[in-house]
Amino acid sequence: MSLILIHRTGAKDREKNPLGVLCVLCASAVKTLAAALLVAFPALAGESVLLATGFVLRADRHEVEGAKIRLYTNGRITEFPAALVAGIEADPQPLALPPAPASAGPSPKQLIERAAARYDLPAEFVHSVAKAESGFRTNAVSGKGAVGIMQLMPSTAEILGADPHDPQQNVEAGARYLRDLLLKYQDHPFQLRLALAAYNAGPGAVQRFRGVPPYRETVEYIEKVIRQYSQSRK
C-alpha cells in the first residue's frame, strides 16, 4: 500500500507555520469538516485521506495546488487547506470475482426419468416417445402447433392443466397423458399401438377408425417409437 505524505506538523513547524497552529487550534472545525465529507462521500472509493485529527475520509482521487487540496468523489469537489491532511493512502483494488454460473435446471432426459417414475411408466418408453416427438428439444414447435419435448397441443395441455412451454410441466403432462391412454386401451390386444396412435392423432381418430387411423404419419410414428423402445430394452 503506497503512502503519500502531504503535511505533518511538529513543534518546530508550528513555530514557523501558522497553518500548523490552525490545525491544532481548530480541531473542532476539522471534525465538522470531516463529518460533512463523510456524509458527502460514499465509503467505497479509490483513496483514504488521513486528517491530522485522526479522521479518515475517502475519495476517488485528489489534487494538491499550493496550500490547498481538492478531493474528487462521484463528481463532487471539496477543497480545504492541505495542512489539515496528514497523509493519503491508495485503497487496495477489490478482486474481480467471476460471475456466478447460472444454475442449470434438470435436462430433458432427467425430467423424463422423473415423470416416468411418477406415473409408473417405463422410462425407456417415455424416452422413445419424446425422441420421436421432438428429439428432446424444449423449444420444438410443430406445424400444427404442438409444443415442447412431448409435443403437446395447447388444447391438450389446457385440459391437463399444464403450461406446454414449461419443460417440466410439458414432460409431466405428456407422461400423464400417455399413462391415461394406456389405461384407456388396457383391455385391447394392441394396447400400446392404440395408445401411441391416440397420442399422435387423437383419441377421436382412433375411435372413428376403430383402431389405428390409416394416416401415414401416425403409422410411421408408431413404428418408430416401438422400434426405439425395443432397442433401448436390449
What residues are labeled active site?
133
Which residue type sits at 104?
A: A
Q: Quick one: which of 144, 150, 147 has its CA closest to 217?
A: 144
Q: By the 8 A CB rule, do 232 and 124 touch? A: yes
User: What are the CA-CA distances from residue 20 to residues 30, 78, 121 (Å)?
Assistant: 13, 20, 88
Residue with cell 485503497: 91
Q: How far apart are the first and last CA of the chain?
A: 68
Q: What does the H/E/C string look like for 160-225?
A: CCCCCCCHHHHHHHHHHHHHHHHHHCCCCCCHHHHHHHHHHHCHHHHHHHCCCCCCHHHHHHHHHH
